[in-house]
Structure 1
């Protein structure tokens, strides 16, 4: 008998980020007859309904969707496919096609998402901001969805593709990354691109050349007399003053994945924590952590990590920190933006509305009007337009905030300034 020879190693299939299959959805619809609860899910349905030629076929499609006639749904770039059971024993293959976005469109979308932490936080929280969807033609319009079915009905759409469209809207409700896949990019591909943009921005912030400092050669500072064993000369060159403290603590390197090494995220957090506390001791002489509340400390820890909750490990960090304090990852992301804007004072501005005394606050509106910004409305320590807001902090600084128009979803942006016009200029990038 010949000795046993092992066969070739079995190749583990790689995750296909461009193909997702969803099991058959249970029959369901909302009390108002809609299949979608989100604005983007309803936009998907309306894109097909607005071009439908026969309302009766749409009604049959809604009935099919609500009674479980649609089997498992497969989504790939530009296509949504499922088998739909009709009046015959054999199901029909229904398909909806739509245009995938080009590379230039995706670059605009990713740039818009990476430019604002609230957009990133919304995506991670399975939400799609209106402004982000408007950056490109992300949502289909009338005529953008092309139905096709193996049934003999030539209606546009037939009841089978209409049923598939209604059930697909429920998938979009649960996970907007399904919509992105329909438009050509998978979830991991998008998150990797956003993470790369964040890393590039962080690297640009930390690689600026430091200013030249006065120095003394070590051989001159440690010069000795020619006699053996003599002590160093005391009248040598004067040593330069100590180096000034850096503006901010340094960021640790990215630790490689290694099965034998500790968790890279834990190492990075420890290094970041050590750098931040050492910098505080160097500059102020006291530990800034001792007086923080658990929520403030959680925000500080998340803000110290440059990943912004994009990678799997930092998403887990945001989720765990938020859950431990009965908050959502979006709450934590907003608080992190405030902390990065102004530290504990910035977080207090985010979370506290108060009545400031007369003085700088009362002079702010005339200053803004003089600078051609007349439309700010006052409320307590805040001045607001439909999409811009300035908040006056107890530290005497103005903090900029931004929201999509009329949504009251304010996110910190820009840098605090003692002058409201200066804070507004930082908010607008001027």
Structure 2
């Protein structure tokens, strides 16, 4: 009789030497990070802090986060492998066999990468910052580079169904240290390796330089001295044609931090908003946000700003917007989650209860029971269990919400769907 084969358990010894041989442009494996004092900050850079807070702002159990942070600080996380949209590592807990923890993050579309590359190549200072392993705020704002609420999806082979478990939380904290030291790890997570990214930037920078030289050598436009235009007997030439509207509003310049100067983030936000609204008026003749109330516009601003509520600067933005609308930062954070879930319709679902027609609402409960879900209790446009809730919006879509059992502290989660079963499966990660 053959002996029983034991499952393979990754060894913590020698992982560093093996990791160095497994680096490619789209797959990077980092040796285990050394333990560090628990009093040290979870991240040092503003983008590393954004990564950590993306997890902490959605965690349902602070105690598990604290244990995960302790695991990370004590060096319980093995070698970390990073590929587009995924971070994987084995994490050692109280049992002899480690658990496989994983973090998933949406990669950027080709259109978003084109926008990012064009923005970076157009500014020599942006290029220099990237080469120095620094990420300018304006570049991160050009695309959704930083993780927002619910962007980071944790998974683990342990039996704990918490969101996240302590092993996934430990991996998240260690990944923040990697992102701190090298922001190209974050770029890889969003879908582009360092070599490919730098090669694309080099090509675009050369293209921009050639275009600028061509424009400098262009002949001067025909002109008329200003005083001659006031002489009645001068034959005035026809006005030149209007310049075409640009395809997209341009990004504002980077504003430096200086004592006594306005907040750079606030200036960047105001300039970006002004450019976007001016572009919409120029191309469509209408203001897309003119019909919004002050509260709806504050929620829209906070939701549209990448990384809102994650760093110290953007927390100040939350506080300012909340104060200006007579709300609390917590009210604004919940409203932002609703806006990101479904725009102005999602905000309406959060803030308004209503009595829907009986047909679609009454059909939802037996449909959920038929697919094995627990029984939901109805109230107006809500279907609820102790920790899950579906809300029917006036747009005919079902919106998912979650709460700790018994707290009635409901937060928007998942994607809305016309089918309540699909909406609930999306909420549960199915």
TM-score (structure 2 length as normaliser): 0.45
**Structure with greater Cα Rg:** 1
